[in-house]
Structure 1
Amino acid sequence: MSVRLDLGPIQETLLLTLHARALDSRAPAPILGDVRSAEIEERIDYDFAKLKVKASLITGTALRARKLDDAVRRFVGAHPDAVVLDLGCGLDTRVFRCDPPGGVDWYDVDFPEVVAFRPRFLPDRSRLIGADLSTPGWAAALPGNRPAMIVAEGLLPFMPGDSFPRMIRELTGHFPSGELVLNGYTRFAAWAMKYHPSIKALDIKAAQGFDDAREPEGWGAGLTLAEEQVLTRVPEVAAFPQPLRAFTRLMAHSTAISRQGGRVLRYRF
Structure 2
Amino acid sequence: MPVPLRLDPVRETLLLTLSARALDSRAPAPILGDAGAAAVADRIAEDTGYDFRKLKLKPSLVTSTALRARKLDDVVRRFAAAHPGAVVVDLGCGLDTRWARCRPPTGVDWYDVDFPDVIELRRRYLPDRTHLVAADVTEPGWLQVLPEDRPAVLVADGLLPFLPGDSFRTTVRRLTERLPSGELALNGYTRFAAWAMKYHPSVKALGIAAAQGFDDPREPEHWDAGLTLAEEQLLTRAPEVAAFPQPLRALTRLVALSTGLSRQGARILRYRF
Q: TM-score range by the shorter chain?
A: over 0.9
Q: Aligned with 1:66: secondary structure?
A: helix
How many angstroms apart in 1 are the aligned matches of 2:110 and 2:226? Answer: 23
The question of whether the paired residues in 1 share the 8 Å contact of 2:79 and 2:153 is answered with yes
**1:116 shift after superposition:** 1.3
The one of 120, 125, 131 equivalent to 2:124 is 120
**1:152 shift after superposition:** 0.3
How many angstroms apart in 1 are the aligned matches of 2:173 and 2:148? Answer: 14
**1:91 shift after superposition:** 0.6
The question of whether the paired residues in 1 share the 8 Å contact of 2:100 and 2:128 is answered with no
**1:4 shift after superposition:** 3.3
Partner of 2:175: 171
TM-score by length of 2: 0.97
**1:2 shift after superposition:** 5.5
Partner of 2:40: 40
Partner of 2:148: 144
Deviations 1:12-65 (A, max 9, x none): 000000000000000000000000000010111211111110000000000000
The one of 213, 224, 228 equivalent to 1:224 is 228
The one of 69, 73, 82 equivalent to 2:73 is 69
TM-score by length of 1: 0.98
Count residues in correspondence.
269
How many angstroms apart in 1 are the aligned matches of 2:230 and 2:105? Answer: 24
Matched, 1:251 2:255: yes
In percent, how many aligned pairs have the same letter?
A: 72
Structure 2 unaligned regions, length at least 5: none
The question of whether the paired residues in 2 share the 8 Å contact of 1:2 and 1:43 is answered with no
Amino acid in structure 2 at the alignment position of 1:154: G
How many angstroms apart in 2 are the aligned matches of 1:70 and 1:83? Answer: 15
Q: Aligned with 2:24: secondary structure?
A: helix
Q: Aligned with 2:205: secondary structure?
A: helix
**Over the residues paired in the alignment, what is the CA RMSD in angstroms?**
1.0
Structure 1 residues 119 and 49: CA distance shift in structure 2, 3 A: same
Amino acid in structure 2 at the alignment position of 1:179: E
1:179-218 → structure 2 map (5 Å cutoff):
179-218=183-222
Amino acid in structure 2 at the alignment position of 1:58: V
Amino acid in structure 2 at the alignment position of 1:21: R
Amino acid in structure 1 at the alignment position of 2:127: P
Deviates more, 1:158-167 or 1:41-50: 41-50
Matched, 1:239 2:223: no
Partner of 2:26: 26
Deviations 1:74-95 (A, max 9, x none): 0000001001000111110000
The question of whether the paired residues in 2 share the 8 Å contact of 1:87 and 1:153 is answered with yes
Partner of 2:14: 14
Structure 1 residues 132 and 28: CA distance shift in structure 2, 3 A: same
Amino acid in structure 2 at the alignment position of 1:43: R
**1:133 shift after superposition:** 1.4
How many angstroms apart in 2 are the aligned matches of 1:64 and 1:7? Answer: 25
**1:3 shift after superposition:** 5.6
How many angstroms apart in 1 are the aligned matches of 2:73 and 2:261? Answer: 25
Partner of 1:104: 108
**1:123 shift after superposition:** 1.8
